[in-house]
Structure 1
């Protein structure tokens, strides 16, 4: 069954171009031209991914994104934006965008990011069991494996990896990780995250050529294959 992508873009020329390219690639598509229309489409149909323009009439892309995430949806959302500043990108990621593509963009790059986001939208294979690539994490038994290799993690390392595996493909800021894993009442330095990321990488990537937790310079980290 073809994966379904909702295109939310008020420029009808760009929307039509995206629709033609995605249909050619084998996806099913739907379109919305305003923020309000996007929410109606999102609620009335099943989608595998949303391409969401930042600047929309009625509701901005960020407002649409915030409402999507408030419903606990983990569906991948790629933001299309003309904004280039890091603070704008961080704002989008903080609200739950999985990725962002700045305009003007090359369609091949966008298609590659769509494929990556769809691959990364991992759901638990069974209750409490998460998989990503060769990684397996069982939140009930608190066991972690890479392939057949058992990985011994400290409680904090396990919680950190658990958070990444519940949000695959999503760029997570240090502040998001700190709040989710250490809690809102933590008052230490955010560089504790960098230290624990090093611990995790050393354990899960030992003897491997593929690494999973990638650094996004100036923003944070993301769980994806490289």
Structure 2
């Protein structure tokens, strides 16, 4: 069985080398690109299972590169690395197509655990099930979503999050449950990832989105009435 391929996009030679060694030692087929242009070329030549993307690149804005990579590789997991602590910077990166993020500095053990969780979720084979709630239909084996007769294209984590909510339609699902089930991040603490992904689902599904926010508790996918912010 071929090893899962991780593309590291990092212009700092020391950090890039450490990441390359850590991921290779963990059993992954890891490669390193030091510029945005090289990352795009490598990704097209050898599509990765996961991209570890530093936002501070010398030749291209990291958020723009994230947007381009997401357009070319809709099913690839993208995790951004950033030293930017401002919340809006993280939200912009997630909105551009990232599935998750880690802020520098971080521990290599934390990074490897996070990436392993993402790849495990990506490779999990769902049951032979089609779930329909209202006008939204999820084909779990094919990982496809339709609203009425129109297909809605979702990123990997958007699909996983919608699945977690729709398969529990009518129930309150806590933030902790969703982070644990979709991201396996219960030991890493809170992030803005969940909020941005819920917002994106609402935008993509439009009038078909029936996700209600229950402040301090979590979210509920409504069986009938449309949810509210």
Partner SS state of residue 80, structure 2: strand
Q: Give the Cα separation in 1 of the matches to 2:51 and 2:219.
A: 30
Matched, 1:197 2:191: no
TM-score, normalising length from structure 2? 0.65
Alignment partner, residue 30 of structure 1:
31
What RMSD over aligned residues (CA atoms) do the two structures have, in Å?
3.2
Alignment partner, residue 67 of structure 2:
66
Matched, 1:180 2:204: yes
Distance 1:191 1:91, change over 3 A: farther
Q: Is the 8 A contact 2:49 2:76 kept in 1?
A: yes
Q: Is the 8 A contact 2:212 2:221 kept in 1?
A: no
Deviation at residue 122 of structure 1 after TM alignment: 4.8
Partner SS state of residue 55, structure 1: coil
Equivalent residue pairs, number: 174
Distance 1:73 1:177, change over 3 A: closer
Q: Give the Cα separation in 1 of the matches to 2:103 and 2:221.
A: 33
Please, which runs of 5 or more residues in structure 1 have no aligned partner? 126-130, 145-152, 202-219, 221-226
Partner SS state of residue 219, structure 2: helix
Q: 2:134 aligns with which of 145, 150, 154?
A: 154
Q: Give the Cα separation in 1 of the matches to 2:52 and 2:61.
A: 13
Alignment partner, residue 88 of structure 2:
87
Alignment partner, residue 165 of structure 1:
159
What do the CA deviations read for 1:168-196 (whole angstroms, capped 9, x no partner)? 6574434312211125xx9xxx9954269
Q: Is the 8 A contact 2:79 2:102 kept in 1?
A: yes
